[in-house]
């Protein structure tokens, strides 16, 4: 096993920012951003609203509808948005809101369920009329100069999803829009700064939705659009320095976007107090390990310990074809190797008297929201199985991306100067090419798949398809052979499968209808340049029923 500690040019201490980047003062902590709270009434609308608010350059956070109003107000929000949700306001267990929320002087914008809740709480009428509207609907705006609708057309398409309908606005409100079925589809009360729309402005099918939302934020609530991912960097650098102090931290780099950006951010804050560990399990794609070893280190100056564990992983995988078995082996070996490297860093740390007390993780905001939203002070235990070490080592977590969505993480990465190849990388599974070889994993097969995969990636990038395609696994059917003819001879080689998919979150996906000429180029190049592959096939299955990966 080869192990080495790399440190790139421009390695820095805490107080010396790398050349070419503005210094960040640790003496004056960055001011907390103005926050807009998005009250979550369920059904995943809240996340999308929070993202749209941030696209309007205003910082947003999601809170559950069960949070007491006093607690919401204690966060000193500049505005509050009430999301849609699956309930009917008349259902027995439907979530409610304390009237105090509307009387606190904080601007409020209700959408869909939030709109109906605002209406009923303040004395308006919502009827179960049987007037259901789902999907694209025509909105008739009667007050085109209103706070929300100014500059938008009198007739505009919006996305609806409701059963009940508002028939009378609360006192003091002006009705600003209707639909064929709903007399009150939007209302506004400028004096009290309360606004509502029956539709979903956050979805892209509501053509003027973002404009309506921005009108609420800027005109209704008077918020300045000043939040940027640059603010995040400053805030986080200050916060990380305060959290870590003079102790040391470690971070596992996977080659993926999240761990790379988290590490770069922590590196900017604490410099050489951070050591990154990269386990090369030999299942990476062509060039990826070099990208981490060279480009990432060059861009960040991070101290990197690379563990070349290819032999170990291949030995453990020998003779194994079952995908779940492969995953288990790769996961188990990964933890062992990582912990050993970690233990060595801990040991080095205690030699110079500084305790390694922190573990950096690239947890993102959707993970935080989906797991019920913590406050970031969790301790995790790392079990050690290396002789001479304590049974358990406790680390505190540093999670600098907990506030961010994926696209924001990419922006932070870009601003930190990480190479595009890392920041714009498509998702790649932890077990790597190990689960893209149907059959036993061997070095020869990995080399072959690496070549085919590199050709596909190169051609997709050249054709400008990287953004349109969510990811494109290239799969080697190592247990299948078919007859071919190349040159003057008969071949008996393997097929590879191209699996280009379009998706928003990998939960569902469709196969990408990519241009035939690009497919043709990939096919010709793979069969010409990769020996032992004599067929390229295209996977035209959506998910469900197929998964994205073949194993
Ligand atoms: P499936 O194949 O389940 O994949 O449709 C959904 C997304 O998850 C990735 N994937 C994995 N990622 N470890 C990972 O870290 C795994 O074992 C694994 N299996 C699938 C896959 O690439 C896709 O983005």
Residue 546 belongs to a domain? no
Q: What's the CA gap between 438 and 475, in Å, rounded? A: 7
Task: Locate 525 and state its tokens.
Answer: 């190049």
Domain of 408 in residue numbering reads as 229-423
Residue 521 belongs to a domain? yes
The mean pLDDT of 485-512, rounded to a whole number, is 90
Point out the annotated binding site.
254-260
Residue 165 belongs to a domain? yes
What pTM was estimated for this model as a whole? Answer: 0.73
The mean pLDDT of 145-152, rounded to a whole number, is 97
506 and 359 within one domain: no
Report CA(296)–ligand 1 centroid distance (Å).
24
Report CA(429)–ligand 1 centroid distance (Å).
5
Residue 497 belongs to a domain? yes
pLDDT above 90 covers a percentage of the chain that reads 71
Residue 548 belongs to a domain? no
Residue 304 belongs to a domain? yes
Contact 547 CB / ligand 1 (< 6 Å):
yes
Contact 484 CB / ligand 1 (< 6 Å):
no
The mean pLDDT of 333-353, rounded to a whole number, is 82
Average confidence score pLDDT of the chain: 88
Q: What's the CA gap between 282 and 219, in Å, rounded? A: 55
297 and 396 within one domain: yes
Q: What's the CA gap between 528 and 13, in Å, rounded? A: 50
User: Please, which pLDDT band fits residue 371 given cuts at 50, 70 and 90?
Assistant: low
The mean pLDDT of 142-157, rounded to a whole number, is 97
The answer to whether residue 276 is catalytic is no
The mean pLDDT of 55-81, rounded to a whole number, is 95
The answer to whether residue 324 is catalytic is no
509 and 385 within one domain: no
Tell me the CATH number at 261.
Answer: 3.40.50.620
Residue 430 belongs to a domain? no
Q: What's the CA gap between 422 and 424, in Å, rounded? A: 6
Report CA(484)–ligand 1 centroid distance (Å).
32
Q: What's the CA gap between 173 and 184, in Å, rounded? A: 11
Name the residue at shortest CA distance from atom 18 of ligand 1.
429
180 and 42 within one domain: yes
Domain count, the chain: 3
């Amino acid at each position: 096993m080869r192990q080495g500690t790399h440190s790139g040019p421009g390695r820095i201490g805490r107080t010396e920012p790398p050349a070419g980047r503005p210094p960040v003062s640790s003496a004056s902590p960055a001011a907390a951003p103005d926050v807009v709270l998005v009250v979550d009434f369920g059904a995943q609308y809240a996340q999308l609203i929070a993202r749209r608010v941030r696209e309007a350059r205003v910082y947003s956070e999601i809170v559950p509808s069960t949070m007491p109003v006093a607690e919401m107000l204690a966060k000193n929000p500049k505005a509050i948005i009430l999301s849609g949700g699956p309930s009917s306001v008349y259902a027995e267990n439907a979530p409610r809101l304390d009237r105090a929320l509307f009387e606190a002087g904080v601007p409020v914008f209700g959408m869909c369920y939030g709109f109906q809740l605002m209406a009923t709480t303040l004395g308006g009428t919502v009827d179960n009329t049987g007037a259901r509207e789902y999907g694209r609907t025509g909105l008739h705006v009667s007050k085109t100069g209103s706070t929300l609708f100014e500059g938008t057309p009198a007739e505009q398409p919006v996305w609806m999803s409701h059963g009940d309908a508002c028939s009378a606005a609360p006192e003091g409100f002006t009705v600003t829009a209707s639909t064929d079925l709903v007399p009150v589809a939007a209302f506004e009360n400028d004096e009290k700064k309360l606004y509502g729309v029956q539709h979903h402005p956050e979805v892209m099918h509501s053509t003027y939705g973002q404009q309506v939302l921005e009108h609420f934020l800027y005109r209704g609530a008077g918020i300045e659009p000043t939040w940027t991912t640059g603010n995040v960097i400053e805030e986080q650098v200050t916060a990380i320095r305060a959290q870590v102090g003079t102790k040391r931290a470690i971070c596992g780099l996977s080659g993926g976007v999240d761990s790379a950006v988290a590490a770069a951010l922590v590196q900017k804050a604490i410099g050489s107090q951070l050591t990154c560990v990269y386990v090369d399990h030999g299942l990476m794609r062509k060039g990826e390990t070099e990208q981490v070893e060279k480009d990432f280190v060059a861009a960040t100056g991070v101290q990197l310990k690379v563990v070349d564990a290819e032999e170990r992983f291949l030995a453990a995988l020998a003779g194994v074809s079952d995908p779940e078995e492969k995953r288990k082996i790769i996961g188990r070996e990964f933890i062992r190797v990582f912990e050993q490297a970690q233990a060595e860093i801990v040991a080095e740390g205690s030699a110079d008297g500084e305790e390694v007390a922190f573990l950096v993780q690239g947890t993102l905001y959707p993970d935080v929201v989906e797991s019920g939203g913590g406050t970031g002070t969790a301790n995790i235990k790392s079990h050690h199985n290396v002789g001479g070490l304590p049974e358990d080592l406790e680390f505190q977590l540093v999670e600098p991306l907990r506030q961010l969505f994926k696209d924001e993480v990419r922006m932070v990465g870009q601003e930190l100067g990480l190479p595009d190849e890392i920041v714009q990388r498509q998702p790649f599974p932890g077990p790597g090419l190990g689960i893209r070889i149907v059959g036993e994993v061997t070095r020869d097969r990995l080399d072959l798949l690496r070549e085919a995969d590199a050709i596909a990636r190169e051609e997709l990038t050249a054709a400008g398809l990287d953004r349109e395609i969510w990811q494109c696994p290239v799969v080697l059917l190592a247990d299948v052979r078919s007859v071919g003819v190349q040159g003057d001879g008969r071949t008996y080689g393997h097929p590879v499968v191209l699996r280009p998919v379009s998706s928003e979150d990998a939960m569902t996906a469709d196969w990408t209808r990519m241009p035939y000429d690009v497919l043709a180029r990939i096919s010709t190049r793979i069969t010409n340049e990769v020996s032992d592959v004599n067929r390229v096939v295209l996977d035209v299955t959506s998910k469900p029923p197929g998964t994205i990966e073949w194993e």
